[in-house]
Structure 1
Amino acid sequence: MTEEAPVDGVMVNGYPGRASVRAGEVLRLHISTRARRFRADFYRCGPRPRLMGHLEGPGAYAEPGGHDEDWTWPGHDMAIPGHWPSGVYVAVLGPGTEHPAARTPADAAALDARHSRLLFVVTARDPGRTARILYKVPLFTYHAYNRSGGASLYGALSRTETRRTVTLARPGGGTGGPVKGRPDAHDPRTPRQTFAHWDAPFIAWLETSGFTADYCTDLDLDEDPELAHRYRLLLSAGHDEYWSEGVRRHVTDFRDQGGNLAIFGANTCWWRVTPNSAGTAISCAKYPPGAPQGADTDRMRGAPDHWWEIEPENRLIGVSYRNGGGHWEGARESLGFTVQHPEHPVFAGTGLREGDVLGGEHHLVGYECDGAAYRRDQQGRAVATGEDGTPDGFTILGVADLPTAPASGWHTAVRESDGPGRAATLGIYTRGGTVFNAATTDWPRLLPLEPRIRTITRNVITLLT
């Protein structure tokens, strides 16, 4: 990851007043610095970052706030040009007025840093007019892991907390802040819970491959019940763990009315968060009443905001993290999906045959993965049982049985079934619209490494648009 020293010893930090803005409208940036003036250079992240414009302003210093309060730093307005395309933008912050004498960043990883950056999404002026795809940027998940102000949605609660609240009005939220979590041994350039780690590589591939998409945050989906309905396909990639009730309801309605959903990630819709009425903070209740603080809440029953205990996420996305698991530290053993139903259109042009392993060489399955409860039929194929909420007709296209030995390092969440099987299951089903789920966070990481992953991704998007 990039960890740049402040220019001339002067730091410039900031955050957007809201992490999305419609092209042609005004974005408010909140900036703190001891420099007399600051500059923000705006890059759109696509096949490679593209410098789109800049903003200059007078510097003023403000103290950092806590994790659960709006930091109220000085505001500066930026009129977003109407011709700026929808996309994910990163502002590079620095003192003075001169553009840094540096090469154009090669990719979003080169832009990423734990300070002096802020991320925002430009949404379409006319949603769905030129794109059939809507890409969901997981803002809630970014802030769930953001430690600016001293805390994230992880860790023991204080004596005064019954649920943890974190503000969206602070540095971080995709880039520009400290992140909870350990380095990724398979891609150490950026922290896992950042835009640069999973979303940026997927978006770079998507746009390089000729697909046109509009972009939004999950807060946008929470607030606008009709947003997704203007598109044919809703896309999510990497690690989209935290969903609000509004997002869940609106995406389900989208599917029920014929909209398609493709998830190229895992640990999806695992925790429920609740935005405040202003859309400036989210909260989550992870500990059951009386539970010991600091315990692994993923292994507990009775957590108020566990989606699987409220309304199993399988009912929408087909799979659940409770049937899969995660490998948290260091390099993990090689594991890929054993292919079933190679005649399915998803596999067209891959040359895969029944029983072939997809992605094993590059550790495709993990660092977290999802699955459907399943049994084996007379031909030995994995078949979803539906006992965990997975919809009828869910076709398992690939299965990866997870290691169970304690020394393997794999963690599994609390399970409804006492059966020994733990597996990631790649699959697809149709109910109203069609839902495809790749069931592993690392799918985007393999796009530049594995031609068959690229072919399957292209097939899925083409089929669903």
Structure 2
Amino acid sequence: MSRRTALGAIGLGAVGVVGLQLRDQAESLPRRPAARTGNNPVAQENGAVGSDQWTLGRDGTKKVTDEDVQIQGYASATSVSHGESLNFHISSHTAQKCTVAVYRIGHYQGSGARHLLTSEPVDVKPRTKPEPQPGTGLIACDWPVSWTLEIPKMWVSGIFLAVFTSQDGHRSYTPFVVRDAARRSDVLMVVPFTTYQAYNMWPFDGRTGKNLYKGYTANGEMGGNPERALKVSFDRPYMQSGFPRWFDMDMSAARWAESAGYDITYASSIDLHEGRIDPSQYTAIIFSGHDEYWSKEMRDCAEDAVDAGTHLAFLASNNIYFHVRLEAGAGGLPGRVVTCYKEAPDPDPGAAGPTVRWRQLGKKHHKAEQGLLGVQYNGILKEPVPLIVRKGDHWFWSGTGLRDGDEIPDLIAVEADGFNPSMPQPPDTRQTLLSESPYIDSWGRGRTVQNTSLCENSQGTLVFVAGTFHWPLALNHPDHLNPQVQRATHNLLTRMLEPRSEG
């Protein structure tokens, strides 16, 4: 019986039957072998020499703007596998040469990345900025291919950066993932590209740009819902430098995980949607950053993971908030358009339902994200506040020196999650709230409470939600580094990676 079927049965009052069936399922969970921490391809990869030559300002490189598009580009896919190719579509403010350098994000003795190759000089020239499509506001470029990258079989799965450097000294970026679905790693880290695109305002030029939140008014001011797009495309650069909003959360989590030697491979959220990921192949799946926009297929994959005994860890907050559809782009490539109508009438909801908040789907909030996560988004903070520890004697806080009521300064920030007793809860699950952190909501609703949550079902499968944006930054980002958060996250993964025998 799947988790989704179990939820339906609970709705019919069949709790006893469900409990028996879940126990039967627990007895047939796949064996989880001993973790390969410290003895795996990622640990070996991080022994290589790193480099920070990709950063802006190196060799006198200058930033770009969306108004001028000195050098910007986008990739033909969010992820690519060994032996496949990835196309880059590049535009420049003048006809000139550029190079494309490729770096892998990791630890590398603190350097943070490794240089893998640099292209021969590539011819680039100005390309047209498309106008938003009437009705949906979709902005999709149709730039020709400027350079193609063939993915070598020896490259280790990870988060990668393509670095565009123009002949006249400007520099920008675009990220992508190299996946390795054929290798059964202990951990899979999922990078939230659907959310990256939802926030992408390119071109941020005072006239044209739109994302799923905002757009420009006729007089060039920043508008809101009336001006926003209903559809956004991956066929365009990320705004300004090319780093997606909140990308630093994912880089921080990845660098920390690789510094700790975990056996890890990577995927994009599009890979979950397209069915390229078998969640049962991993002991744990980490959602490393701000992962707000989910299709039904993505959520099905996460729920299938729990059914298969695969642990889930969400390191940020406001997860699985908006339901989206992923549609093909103009060239027919699948998964190139993220559609989310939100409050506007959805003209083509399909079997999955309209593209609204997940908690608005189904009767009595049946599809609310808390039914999987244990907590859900409950507000935006005016300013950071401390995390207030609960259950200080729990194994999660072991070795941190923290006790009930202790504070971790400024850890709760930007957006927060909390437990809502009026919303669905994960079935057959024991929940532990590991924090109780009051904050003032920027919407003016007064005092709200953040909760970090850990759910464990009768199979022993864990679902962890940090419930704040600053958690992944505290793992590695120099401005937010916190050893207590590092230790607690290490405790979590150690528990998740404990071997489990069949039966």
> Distance in 1 between the 2:70 and 2:276 partners?
40
- 1:49 aligns to what? 113
Structure 2 letter corresponding to 1:138: P
Give me the TM-score of the superposition, normalised by structure 1: 0.76
Question: Do the aligned residues in 1 keep the contact of 2:79 with 2:267 (CA within 8 Å)?
Answer: yes
Q: Does 1:194 align with 2:258?
A: no
Distance change in 2, residues 1:289/1:461 (3 Å): same
Q: Does 1:61 align with 2:126?
A: yes
Runs (5+) with no aligned partner, structure 1? 101-112, 180-192, 291-301, 374-384, 413-419
- 1:70 aligns to what? 140
> Distance in 2 between the 1:42 and 1:317 partners?
36
1:285-330 CA distances to partner (integer Å, 9 max, x unpaired)?
Answer: 111559xxxxxxxxxxx99511111110001111111xx31125xx
Q: How does 1:19-418 map to 2 (within 5 A)?
A: 19-33=78-92, 34-47=94-107, 48-56=112-120, 57-66=122-131, 68-75=138-145, 76-96=147-167, 116-124=172-180, 126-128=182-184, 131-149=185-203, 150-155=209-214, 156=224, 164-172=230-238, 176-177=241-242, 193-195=245-247, 197-224=248-275, 226-277=277-328, 278-288=334-344, 304-310=355-361, 311-321=367-377, 324-328=378-382, 332=383, 334-340=385-391, 342-357=392-407, 359=408, 361=409, 363-373=410-420, 385=421, 387-391=422-426, 392-403=429-440, 409=442
Question: Do the aligned residues in 2 keep the contact of 1:137 with 1:236 (CA within 8 Å)?
Answer: yes
**4+ runs deviating over 3 angstroms:** 1-4, 156-159, 175-179, 409-412
> Distance in 1 between the 2:174 and 2:225 partners?
28
Distance change in 2, residues 1:346/1:39 (3 Å): same
> Distance in 1 between the 2:148 and 2:128 partners?
20
Distance change in 2, residues 1:63/1:225 (3 Å): closer
> Distance in 2 between the 1:78 and 1:29 partners?
8
Distance change in 2, residues 1:53/1:345 (3 Å): same
Distance change in 2, residues 1:42/1:333 (3 Å): closer
> Distance in 1 between the 2:494 and 2:423 partners?
30
Structure 2 letter corresponding to 1:355: G
> Distance in 2 between the 1:246 and 1:286 partners?
18
Distance change in 2, residues 1:10/1:275 (3 Å): closer
> Distance in 1 between the 2:455 and 2:210 partners?
39
Structure 2 letter corresponding to 1:172: Y
C-alpha deviation, 1:10, in angstroms: 8.7
- What is the SS of the residue equivalent to 1:349? coil
C-alpha deviation, 1:178, in angstroms: 8.4
Give me the TM-score of the superposition, normalised by structure 2: 0.71
- 2:464 aligns to what? 436
> Distance in 1 between the 2:139 and 2:287 partners?
29
> Distance in 2 between the 1:24 and 1:92 partners?
21
Runs (5+) with no aligned partner, structure 2? 1-54, 133-137, 204-208, 215-223, 329-333, 347-352, 362-366, 498-503
Total equivalences in the alignment: 387
Note the aligned Cα RMSD (angstroms).
Answer: 2.9
> Distance in 2 between the 1:12 and 1:5 partners?
10
More helix by share: 2
1:35-74 CA distances to partner (integer Å, 9 max, x unpaired)?
Answer: 3322101111112111111223222431122452431212
Distance change in 2, residues 1:411/1:262 (3 Å): farther
Identity %: 29
Structure 1 letter corresponding to 2:433: I
Question: Do the aligned residues in 2 keep the contact of 1:82 with 1:125 (CA within 8 Å)?
Answer: no
